[in-house]
A and B are shown apart, each in its own frame.
Chain A
Amino acid sequence: EAGVTQFPSHSVIEKGQTVTLRCDPISGHDNLYWYRRVMGKEIKFLLHFVKESKQDESGMPNNRFLAERTGGTYSTLKVQPAELEDSGVYFCASSQDVWQGGSPLHFGNGTRLTVT
């Protein structure tokens, strides 16, 4: 079974540019999550999809961030325009169930975003 894959693994962009991150969850996983870790801090929740619907987007920092999951398969996270404070590692995760409880999240390797 293929794991969660993220692309690109690294991205270096200038302030003001646009970047799009992609996540392919494990096949059959309806739940898809985006998280972010800024250097040395905790891993923070950004948002949660159930299939193609946004279940919870309370962690999205501002309207420069746009996440989509068309068709309920892969997801993209676009940052436009990027700011210096957006630098960090962006993780995607997927899981099979929601309310059954206890189903661990499966994480991708992350995308390291550097905004200069």
Chain B
Amino acid sequence: AQSVAQPEDQVNVAEGNPLTVKCTYSVSGNPYLFWYVQYPNRGLQFLLKYITGDNLVKGSYGFEAEFNKSQTSFHLKKPSALVSDSALYFCAVRDRRRGTDKLIFGTGTRLQVFP
């Protein structure tokens, strides 16, 4: 079955420090991987995706993610965190098996950046 796991419910980091939000996946075939962010009282916003190509993917707001096939991971990273990055982050894998096309999400990780 296609699935993603976000092992951390919350990540705390000081402003200016690097941040990592972890995600591992389990899929059959080549994975299509996504990160979305949800700010308070807002919908999910697309951050970045991995389909094929370079393992390091760059996205919006200075975020990037590293695809690691051997570890089946797709961790979200940012070199220097901002207080405004505080939000809920969701990792997702696209399930495109015959007859279906949907995103399967993890449980989310709350990122708290302290001044």
Contacts and interface: CB of A to CB of B under 8 A. Distances in A.
Contacts of B49: 102, 104
Contact of B102 (A4, A33, A99): A33
Interface of A: 3-4, 6, 31, 33, 35, 40-45, 48, 55-56, 58-59, 91, 93, 98-99, 101-102, 104-110
B13 interface: no
Interface of B: 32, 34, 36, 41-46, 49, 51, 90, 94, 96, 99-108
Nearest to A41: B107
A91 B41 CA distance: 12
Contact of A40 (B43, B46, B107): B107
30 contacts: A3-B43, A31-B101, A33-B103, A35-B103, A42-B108, A43-B90, A45-B102, A45-B103, A48-B102, A55-B101, A56-B100, A56-B101, A56-B102, A58-B100, A91-B44, A93-B44, A98-B101, A101-B32, A101-B51, A102-B32, A104-B34, A104-B46, A104-B49, A105-B103, A107-B36, A107-B45, A108-B43, A109-B42, A109-B43, A110-B43
A45 to B, nearest CB: 5
B106 A42 contact: yes
Contacts of B46: 104-106
Nearest to A47: B102
A71 B44 CA distance: 26
A107 B43 contact: yes
A102 B103 contact: no
Contacts of A98: 101
B104 A45 contact: yes
Contacts of B32: 101-102
B99 A56 contact: yes
Given A43-B105, A48-B102, A58-B100, 5 more contacts: A33-B102, A101-B51, A104-B49, A105-B44, A107-B36
A102 B36 CA distance: 14
Nearest to A58: B100
Contacts of A93: 44
